Structure 1
Amino acid sequence: MNRAYRFAIAGALAAGLAAGGAATAFAAPAPAPVASVATPAPAAKPVLTAQASVATIGAWQEFRVSGKATGIKAGTTVVLQQKQGAKWVSLPAKVTVDKNSAYSMRVKLGIKGKNALRVTGGGAVSEPIYVTVR
């Protein structure tokens, strides 16, 4: 051990003994405080809900699809899609989300049978809803 290092240890021991006894002299130095860094909360995942105003309708009769948009800015466009075969096809029915995070659109369907519909926009896709056209 070099001489300067021994003097430093001896000085620390002497100061510790003078200040409060052997326990203080041999105690490990307190760790330096760690600065905490605030991490931003993760953004809420955007969510769309959808519901039809009717369960069954005649061909080309008008009904409404409405719902709520959570985590999506007002003014964002949402589009109605219909499942045709294995693909989801966008229909010419689109509206913007209002300041209350809601939307409502008028729809007419001509494909007879049970139609699967969903709403998409703002990075979200609603669960499918079903309307039967007779």
Structure 2
Amino acid sequence: MTVTKRHSLRIAAVGVISAASVALAGTAAMAAAPAAPTASVAQKAPAVKATISAKPSVTSVKAWQLFRVTGATTGLKAGTKVALQQKQGAKWVTLPASVPVAHNGSYSLGVKLGLKGKNNLRIVSGSTASPVFNVTVR
């Protein structure tokens, strides 16, 4: 290699290293300076409380007859499971009926009940529950 080519390569390498040093120094200076709060951070919206609505397709069915419970959710991600609960005595029992929430927040759950009489039901997801609704099984 000739002297002029080596000299040109050396100058190019020094130029690249200098540019990198300046960029790093600027980044370090920005990181050291405290950031001023922006309007979006200062006025952060409170988290949306999750809600679930529920409406049965019927109010009275024969034992083991299929009916639907439909509703909408807010504050739940798509794919989150919602399940049916039935009041048995003093406690709520989760039944083996669940479905994921659709991308628009809605759900539709097929249900069959065998416990005759008035059934208090609700839809739940985690600690969020719908209002209680009733279906009578005859």
Paired position in structure 1 for 2:48: 44
Determine which structure has the larger helix proportion and give its number: 2
Report if aligned partners of 1:52, 1:66 keep a CA contact under 8 Å in 2.
yes
Aligned AA for 1:71? G
Q: Please state if 1:108 is matched with 2:112.
A: yes
TM-score by length of 1: 0.71
Give the CA deviation at 1:122: 4.8
For each residue in 1:40-82, what CA deviation from the matched residue of structure 2 results, as whole angstroms up to 9, or x when unmatched? 1111100000010000000000000110011111010001000
Q: Please state if 1:125 is matched with 2:129.
A: yes
May I ask how many residue pairs the two structures share in their alignment? 101
Give the CA deviation at 1:124: 1.4
Report if aligned partners of 1:72, 1:122 keep a CA contact under 8 Å in 2.
no
TM-score by length of 2: 0.69
The percentage of aligned residue pairs carrying the same residue is 57
Give the CA deviation at 1:123: 3.8
Aligned AA for 2:117? G
Tell me how far apart the structure 1 counterparts of residues 122 and 57 of structure 2 sit (CA, whole Å): 14
Paired position in structure 1 for 2:98: 94
Q: Please state if 1:77 is matched with 2:72.
A: no
Paired position in structure 1 for 2:72: 68
Structure 1 vs Structure 2 CA RMSD: 1.7
Structure 2, unmatched stretches of 5+, are 1-36
